[in-house]
Each structure stands twice: as C-alpha cells, then as structure tokens.
Amino acid sequence: MPGGALVDAVPDGPSRHTVPDILNGMSAPDCPADGDETVWRRGALTRRQARGDVWLAAGLLGLGLVTVWLASVAVEGSDVQAAAPPEAMAWLVALCVPTALRRRAPVTVMAVVSAVFILSQLRGYPDSMAPSIVEFLVIYTANAWARWRRAALVGSAVVTAAMLVWLGVAVLGPLQQGGPMLSSTVAGVVYSFVLNLLFFVSAVWFGRSSRVSAARLHALERAGVDLRAAQELVAEQAIGEERTRIARELHDVVAHHVAVIAIQAGAARRTLDRPEIASGALSAVESTARTAIDELERLLTVLRSQDRAPHEGPTGLAALPQLVADTRRLGLDVRFSTHGERFEVPESVGVTLFRVVQEALTNTLKHASAGVADVRLRFRDRAVEVEVTDDGVGGAGSRPSQTSGPAGSGLGQRGMRERVDLHGGELHVGPHAKGGYRVRAVLPAVRTTSLAASGPAARSEQREGRTT
C-alpha cells in the first residue's frame, strides 16, 4: 500500500507559531480534550468546500481510471486473477463517489470506503494506488472534521485493525497451504505490516493535527476580534476622557475670569456717575480679560503639543496668594491661612488644589452674596487639604441651582470632583454647620522635603505667608 507520495496531499501538522507569540502573551485556549466537544467545533461546511469535495471525488475517479487501466495491462498474461473490467469500474466508482460527502459525514464515509476497499481487494481489484489514496483521505478527514473526536479515533482504530487483519490473512493464506516459510517471505510480511501500520497512523496523525491547527486559528481569530473590540473601547474611553479634560480645563479658565468680568462690568455700569470708580472697574475688566486670554492660549498650546509638556501658568499652591488678592479686589474679604509644616507636593496635586479654591471662590462671588470667605491650606503627614468657607447663603439646594444670583449649571462641582477623584482624594461640598457654604478637598501627598528644611529664605517666606 503506497504511502510515500501522500504527504503533500494533506496540510502540515500543528503550527509552531502559537497565539502567545503573535499576540504578545495573549494565550489561546487549548484544543478540546477527547470527549469534551464544548470548547470548539468546526463551523458548517460552506458551499465552496462542498463543491471542492465533489471536484476531488471526480479527480480521484479520473486517477483511478488511469491506474486501473495500467494495472490491468500489467497483470495481463500473468497468473494473477484480476476482476473483469466492468466489475473493476464498479468497485472504483464505489470507492471514489463517497468522498464527495467526506466532510458532511466523515465517520460514515470512512466506514463505507474501508469496507469497499477490503471487498474490492478480495474480488481481485487490480490496482492498489488509487484505493490507498482514497483510504488515506477518508481516515484523515474523519479525524479532522468529525463532530466527535473520540468517535473518529475509535472508528480509525477499528478500520486500521480490520485492514491489518485482512492484510495478514491475504499474506499468510498462501503460506498455510503448505508453502515454505522462507526468511525472505517472513521479512516481506513484517515489512508490509509495518508499512501499512505507519500508513494508517500517519493518516490519523495528520487529521488530528489539522484539527488542532484549525482550533488554534479559530482562537487566534477570536482573540483578534476581542482585541479590536478592546482597542475600539479604549479609544472611545480615551476620547471621552479627553473631552472631559478639555471641558474641565475650559471651565476652570473661563468661568472664574468671566465671573470676575461680569461683576466688574456691573460695578462699572452702576458707577457711571463716578468716573474714578467706573474707571477702576473697567481696568479690572481689561486686566481679567487679558489674563483669561493668556490662560486660554496656554491651554491651547498644551492641547496642540504632542509631548503635553507642562506649562508655566498661574496655577499651583504658589499661586494661591495671588488668587486671594485678585478676589479681594472684587470686594470679597478673603482670608488665607496655612497650617502645618509646608512641604513640596506634586505639580498635578497643586494644580488640582488651586482649581478647587478658584472654583469655590468663583461660586462664592456668583451665588453666595457673601461678605467674607476663609481659605485654609493644611499640610498633613500624608495629605494636603484645602478648605474654603463663606458666610453667604448656604441653605440646602442654594448652590448652584437656587441662589440670590443666577442659577449655576453644576459643571464646576463636577469638574472639582473629577479632578479630586483622579488623585484618589476626597471632596466635600455643602452647607456649613455654622452657616454659609463649605468646600473641602483632601488629596494624598507623601511628605518628602519640607520647605523649612530648604533654608532661611524658605522659612522666612513661610512665616510671611502663614496668614494673610
């Protein structure tokens, strides 16, 4: 039974390039174990695959016609008893036609073709090449395409055993009739037995290897789909977070300065009969508008830059005294005090605390009808805290929706909470127990180097800025 030319007719064994190699550590699920068909199954046979099986059956039939003719010519005039040509053609058709259904009913086709193979050889079918190719193909297909792997393996074992029994009977039969047991004959029997055993085992191995490769390919495709979905989700989240960040930055930059401009413009309108006061208010409007334009330009520069390098701007804990002074010029009595041993904090923490104080003072100016605001900056061992309180309207629901001023949108409080949440901090916003309103933010910060240890100049600066 020839088998050397059959290797090119089937796919290679399992791929050496696994899913972890391709997807950077993403592991593919293993092939289903014998008896466990819940992990993966082949999909339905496509029309293209079905047409391919029909054409393959026709090709095998054509090949069989050539080989059976050549075999008939070869045994003509010898003592070999070969089947008549019509009978040989019938056996050839019975062998090749079932292969058109080899992937629809692989185990059934394997059983039918194997039975026809043995019967045709018993009836003296003159050729063995085409039947061997067909037999290899159906055993391979059964192990590669059968719905139940265990059924295919058991069926292949039964077919292999039946073939070997038939081979033993065919070879040893003449010897039992009194023929001499020559060593060359025994060697030929053993050789034929080993060759055919390797033939059938290789058919099973190639089929199961094809199934493993298909399962890995399916896992790779599924991982690719999941990866693309995850990438799209991450991209959507990144876009949403970027839009939120831009909205938060714009609100922080615009809301405070526009509120100041509105207050100063109103003061100028009410004091038109006193030019010196109106002039001062209009100068404040001009200065605030220029400051807002500068901050917007810096924000746009950061948004356009690829490296997102930090920019110098009026933010951070060092800018709190200037923010307090600017707010005082608007008519609000703002008191600023620092508590605890001051130390350096990350820039992002300082910016967040500055924006919280800025938003709190802006809301006090816009909504609270307050006369006094108190800003406290506290340095703890593992945290930094800012607290802004005022003596204005602090009843429930008074800010930002129902106040003596215009109704607020609530975007400021949302922006403060988003900033604080980014650092794993705490934000408390609501009426104060003693009246008025309170905004309190606590951000984690590890004490590294205190300003007091930086030198006399730093200690002098800390003493001067302790209470203003």
Are residues 160 and 43 part of one domain? yes
pLDDT recorded at residue 337: 93
Residue numbers of the domain that contains 100: 4-26+39-228
Are residues 332 and 209 part of one domain? no
Identify whether 277 is part of a domain.
Answer: no
Are residues 192 and 51 part of one domain? yes
Give the mean model confidence (pLDDT) for residues 186-190.
64
Residue-wise pLDDT tens digits, 13-22: 334 444 344 3
Q: Of the ranges 219-233, 312-326, 401-415, 446-460, which is most confident?
A: 219-233
pLDDT > 70? residue 4: no
Domain total for the chain?
2
What's the CATH code of the domain at 334?
Answer: 3.30.565.10
Identify whether 372 is part of a domain.
Answer: yes
pLDDT recorded at residue 467: 53
Where does a domain end: 179, 198, 228? 228
Are residues 122 and 218 part of one domain? yes
Decide: 405 and 336 in contact? Cβ < 8 Å: no
Please name which of 350, 361, 345, 293 lies closest in space to residue 450, comparing C-alpha atoms.
345
Where does a domain end: 176, 195, 228? 228
Reported confidence tier of residue 253, pLDDT bands at 50, 70, 90: low
Q: Please work out, in degrees rounded to the nearest 5, the angle formed at the alpha carbon of residue 56 by the alpha carbons of 54 and 60.
A: 120
Where does a domain end: 193, 228, 263? 228
Is 146 in a helix, a strand, or coil?
coil
Are residues 321 and 208 part of one domain? no
Are residues 13 and 155 part of one domain? yes
Q: What is the pTM of this model?
A: 0.45
Identify whether 420 is part of a domain.
Answer: yes
pLDDT recorded at residue 387: 94
Please name which of 91, 177, 80 lies closest in space to residue 134, comparing C-alpha atoms.
91
What residues pair up with 431 in beta bridges, in sequence order? Answer: 437
Identify whether 376 is part of a domain.
Answer: yes
Identify whether 20 is part of a domain.
Answer: yes
